[in-house]
């Protein structure tokens, strides 16, 4: 039995941070970072059956063209993803009354619709990137037995190529769900490795008033290649989503609208339009499958 200090439930039986009960979520789940992006998606739904919000975790479940979909904001960063995916998994794979893991496990389909900065000059602002791999530069996944699902060869090649300082922890590499990749891909999507940082400024090579440990890191990431893949973009959630989903048996895919190009130093003139287009694209693909 999982103790009440380990799996915390609210007085109404919902999971602690997400405020959700099992009946509130669909098997197809869209993650966004920004809580204001939830309604940018659900505004297109035929009906909404459930809404809740606690802190940055806003959730709505409804029907879009006959398909039941949950849209949820995760806030910013891998630490939040740890909470969101563990609590979502508890909703489907742990009996919240007996506090025992279920025998028959459920696989959720999780698609992130995010924003991100491109590292490549030829992946311009307002384009879309599908993450074939997540490269975790943060250490959240290292609390788990992540080697079971990580691409150790690519990890080692990245550490060598960047002369990575292992005092920052060892990066890990996790692949997307091939099932979701096939469902969503098209020639509109750039594909590659998405690097996930544990912060926005120093951890992504931004210098304001603080010196950073490796000023050349973005340039080194820019020319890293492994097995025909290059690092396309840098954001703060993808590797965490891929790692926990792989360990728990869920399918995950991360899509990002590129709103900044770090190679050319440019920022989208209309970032909301790029995100709106990615939302429309994803919803359309989801209901066609």
Residues forming contacts to ligand R1P in the complex (CB under 6 A) are: 32-34, 76, 114-115, 200, 235-237
For ligand R1P, the closer CB: 34 or 126: 34
Q: What CA–CA distance (Å, rounded) separates 178 from 281?
A: 18
CB of 268 to ligand R1P, least distance (A): 12
For ligand R1P, the closer CB: 54 or 161: 54
CB of 110 to ligand R1P, least distance (A): 13
For ligand R1P, the closer CB: 38 or 94: 38
Closest chain position to ligand R1P (CB)? 33
- List, in order, residues 6 or more apart from 269 with CB less than 8 Å away: none
Apex 118 CA angle, 114 and 124, nearest 5: 105
CB of 31 to ligand R1P, least distance (A): 8
CB of 95 to ligand R1P, least distance (A): 32
Helical packing angle, 78-93 and 238-248, nearest 10°: 30
CB of 134 to ligand R1P, least distance (A): 11
For ligand R1P, the closer CB: 33 or 192: 33
| C-alpha to C-alpha distances, 65 to 30, 45, 71, 287, nearest whole angstrom | 15, 7, 15, 7
For ligand R1P, the closer CB: 32 or 246: 32
Helices and strands, number each (H, E), in the chain: 7, 14
Residue among 140, 168, 19, 20 at smallest CA distance from 82: 140
């Amino acid at each position: 039995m999982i103790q009440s200090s380990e799996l915390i439930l609210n007085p109404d039986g919902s999971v602690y941070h997400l405020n959700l009960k099992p009946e509130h979520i669909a098997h197809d789940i869209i993650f966004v970072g920004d809580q204001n992006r939830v309604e940018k998606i659900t505004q297109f739904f035929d009906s909404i059956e459930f809404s809740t919000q606690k802190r940055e975790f806003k959730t709505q479940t409804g029907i879009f063209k006959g398909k039941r979909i949950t849209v949820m904001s995760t806030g910013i960063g891998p630490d939040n993803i740890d909470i969101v995916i563990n609590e979502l998994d508890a909703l489907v794979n742990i009996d919240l009354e007996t506090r025992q893991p279920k025998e028959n496990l459920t696989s959720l389909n999780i698609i992130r619709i995010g924003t991100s900065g491109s590292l490549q000059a030829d992946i311009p602002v307002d384009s879309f990137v599908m993450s074939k791999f997540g490269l975790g530069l943060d250490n959240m996944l290292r609390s788990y037995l992540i080697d079971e699902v990580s691409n150790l060869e690519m990890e080692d090649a990245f550490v060598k190529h960047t002369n990575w300082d292992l005092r920052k922890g060892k990066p890990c590499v996790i692949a997307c769900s091939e099932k979701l990749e096939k469902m969503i891909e098209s020639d509109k999507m750039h594909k590659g490795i998405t690097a996930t940082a544990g912060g926005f400024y120093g951890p992504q090579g931004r210098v304001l008033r603080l010196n950073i440990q490796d000023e050349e890191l973005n340039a080194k990431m820019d020319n890293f290649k492994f097995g025909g893949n290059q690092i396309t973009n840098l954001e703060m959630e993808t590797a965490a989503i891929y790692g926990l989903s792989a360990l728990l048996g869920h399918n995950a895919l991360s899509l990002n609208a590129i709103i900044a190009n770090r190679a050319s130093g440019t920022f989208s003139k209309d970032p909301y339009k790029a995100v709106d287009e990615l939302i429309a694209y994803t919803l359309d693909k989801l209901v066609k499958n």
